[in-house]
Structure 1
Amino acid sequence: MKLTDFSFDLPKDLIATKPSNPRDTSRLLHHISPNRFEDLQFKNIVNLLNKGDVLVVNDTKVVPSEIIGVKANNLGERSKIMFTFIENLKDGIWSCYVRPGKKIQENDIVFIYGVDCKVIKKSKRIVLVDFDSKNYEFQKNLQKHGNLMLPPYISSKRKYKESDREDYQTVYSKNLGSIAAPTAGLHFTEDLLEEIKSKQVNIKNVTLNVGPGTFSKLENEKVEENLLFKEKCFLSTDTSKFLNSVYKDPKRKIIAVGTTTLRVLETSFINNNSFEPIDTYTDIFIYPGKKIKSINSLITNFHLPQSSLFILICAFIGRANAVRMYHHAIKKRYKFYSYGDSCFLNNG
């Protein structure tokens, strides 16, 4: 398969730069069958769920990750550098993105709000820095002075707003660790969740800390040769037992809220057609030809062309169906990407 097989043209004015308000007034495209679509509001999702079904959500919480550092050269000239911190790997060592990358070299010393770090490794995609014994002080500064990282298709069009701190979190987020939101969950409100629960639909949590593995650009034209970054994920023993009971009941459905949730479930479901508890890292890459077995339905936003997420959608409902659905969404002027609208898909 070629990466270009997963291309489509999207009018730029359909890229959402702000969320719907209230959240559940966003639009929901129900993919009923290859040629049947239903245009709904997200709050109508209640009508697509039945007693005994289970919604599985990613309860990760987005942490401040973008912050400016300053590097001085031998002449005392100061350069401002934007850091996006991905993960505290161990002790004071962090992985990060740097912009502009050409200003940073190995062994450079950078100051971030008075805390110094040393660049210990620079690769094509990732930089490693070490805060050594000042790691705790740095983390406090990052929480206080850092911003959430908005996707470039938003940040290139407008400045970061204080309201993004709330808008770019799901209402059920609790486990710190992501640098990007699991965006399918952004459409839920507290009231909508209560309405869903009142219908005796269960809600279970998993965690995947969203990082480069979710949103990084694929580099190889041959789809199967691409590798994703590993991301931390967790599914508890109690949740695995509950999901196994639902999976064995043909009258009940497992609905994943978002592609990150689906990737956790597929990572857990690899052996013996049953869910197993996991506390690990996953780099699972789902593309056409790989059968998705763990869920009945998927709620997800509309994704970028040639992205691992759009390719996952093609694996779930078939490439032709996915392209047809996206063309319908464009014609009906659905909003795309993180702050955009969503769709409800059934396992094809």
Structure 2
Amino acid sequence: MRLSNFRYTLPKTKIADEPASPRGKCKMMVLNRRKKDIEHKVFEDIVSYFKKGDLLVLNNSRVFPAKIFGQKEKTDAKIEVFLLRVLNKEAGLWDVLVDPARKVRVGNKIYFEEDVVAEVVDNTTSRGRTIRFLNPDIDVFSLVERIGNIPLPPYFTRPPRESDKENYQTVYASETGAVVAPMAGLHFTMPILQKIQKIGVKILPITLHPSLSTFNAIEVEDVSKHKMDSEYFNIPYQTAMEINETKVNKTGRVIAVGTTTCRVLEANATVDGKIKFGRGWTDKFIYPPYQFKVTDALLTNFQQPETTLLMTVSAFAEHRLLMEAYKTALKEDYQFLAYGDAMFIH
């Protein structure tokens, strides 16, 4: 597939800056792959598409307020530090982005609130740095909860607000480490999940901490040559066992909430459609054509053009059908991206 196959015009007026309120009241397009038809629903209607024996697999990754501001030693220049991921917790080492990057060099110290100090120890990219927090026994995650800002996606036209700390987070988020929300899960409420469970559907967690590579521009026309950044994942033993038992006995479907969940399942799939439990790093990139081994249905949002997220959904839905569905969504005034509407593909 070529990059140009995933190009479409997304007007800024179709990008949601605010979440649906209350959750569960957004629009939901339902795409039937076999019948190749479209239904227009409200998200809370998703309950009617589940059957006893199905498995709903959620990504329980939690977004942390990863943007903090400090002052450079001597000059007092204001520096934004975007914490991407911890490299060595005991040593206080973090992979970060800094802005303005031209002012931040190896050896510089940056001072934050609460007398916290970090030293720049390496350059990684034009804006990328490795920093070491010099305060012994500092809990950086606790620090950022107090002084940090939620890292909203770059397509947002407004600054983050305090309400985004709750809105840009799934109701079941529990494993801290993401800088990008697993956005397909933002529509769920606890009452909706409880209704799904009452049908006889098991709800199972996995973890994948989405990175900023979600928004990386693809710079090659042949998409097969694009390389994803590695992201941390964890598949609990119980989740793997439930999925494998369901696959062997053919008692229900595996329904993935979001492309992050889908990628973890497929990255750890065996040839016979089972999955392996455990934790590690994955750079799995799914694009058409792709034979899905585990995922039977997919809940997603409407994605940006020319992104890996759109390519993964396209591989699942069938490219031509998905792009026709996107044309319909634009015509019917669906809202796109993180705070936008939902699409359920089965």
- TM-score, length basis structure 1: 0.93
Partner of 2:265: 265
Partner of 1:17: 17
| Equivalent-residue separation in structure 1 for 2:216 and 2:210 (angstroms) | 11
Q: Once structures 1 and 2 are overlaid, which stretch shifts more, 96-105 or 222-231?
A: 96-105
**2:132 paired with 1:130:** yes
| Equivalent-residue separation in structure 1 for 2:270 and 2:230 (angstroms) | 17
Aligned residues: percent identity?
A: 33
Out of 54, 78, 89, the residue aligned to residue 80 of structure 1 is 78
Partner of 2:310: 310
| Equivalent-residue separation in structure 1 for 2:327 and 2:308 (angstroms) | 19
1:263 and 1:284 in contact (8 A); partners too:
yes
Partner of 1:143: 145
1:55 and 1:202 in contact (8 A); partners too:
yes
* Residue aligned with 2:83, SS: strand
Deviation at 1:331, TM superposition (A): 0.7
Residue correspondence of structure 1 range 39-58 to structure 2 within 5 A: 39-58=40-59
TM-superposition CA deviations, 1:223-272 (whole Å, max 9, x none): 11111111110111221111011112445111000111111111221454
1:6 and 1:305 in contact (8 A); partners too:
yes
Partner of 1:289: 289
Partner of 1:231: 231
* Residue aligned with 1:285, SS: coil
Aligned residues: 341
* Residue aligned with 2:238, SS: helix
2:47 and 2:195 in contact (8 A); partners too:
yes
Deviation at 1:290, TM superposition (A): 2.6
| Equivalent-residue separation in structure 1 for 2:76 and 2:155 (angstroms) | 29
**Unpaired segments of 5 or more residues in structure 2?**
none
Deviation at 1:40, TM superposition (A): 0.3
2:116 and 2:134 in contact (8 A); partners too:
no
| Equivalent-residue separation in structure 1 for 2:212 and 2:145 (angstroms) | 20
1:214 and 1:260 in contact (8 A); partners too:
no
**2:171 paired with 1:171:** yes
Which amino acid in structure 2 is aligned with residue 119 of structure 1?
V
Deviation at 1:107, TM superposition (A): 2.4
Which amino acid in structure 1 is aligned with residue 60 of structure 2?
D
Which amino acid in structure 2 is aligned with residue 195 of structure 1?
K
1:121 and 1:129 in contact (8 A); partners too:
yes
Deviation at 1:212, TM superposition (A): 2.5
Partner of 1:60: 61
2:116 and 2:135 in contact (8 A); partners too:
no
| Equivalent-residue separation in structure 2 for 1:146 and 1:100 (angstroms) | 18
TM-superposition CA deviations, 1:73-117 (whole Å, max 9, x none): xxx433212111011110211001222322222222222223222
1:115 and 1:137 in contact (8 A); partners too:
no
Aligned CA distance change for structure 1 residues 125 and 326 (closer, same or farther; 3 Å): farther
Deviation at 1:222, TM superposition (A): 2.4
**Unpaired segments of 5 or more residues in structure 1?**
none
- TM-score, length basis structure 2: 0.94
| Equivalent-residue separation in structure 2 for 1:235 and 1:86 (angstroms) | 22
Q: Once structures 1 and 2 are overlaid, which stretch shifts more, 53-62 or 262-271?
A: 262-271
What is the RMSD computed on CA atoms of the aligned residues? 1.7
1:115 and 1:138 in contact (8 A); partners too:
no
Deviation at 1:161, TM superposition (A): 1.4
Aligned CA distance change for structure 1 residues 70 and 220 (closer, same or farther; 3 Å): farther
| Equivalent-residue separation in structure 1 for 2:288 and 2:59 (angstroms) | 24
Q: Once structures 1 and 2 are overlaid, which stretch shifts more, 266-275 or 187-196?
A: 266-275
> Runs of 4+ in structure 1 displaced over 6 angstroms?
none
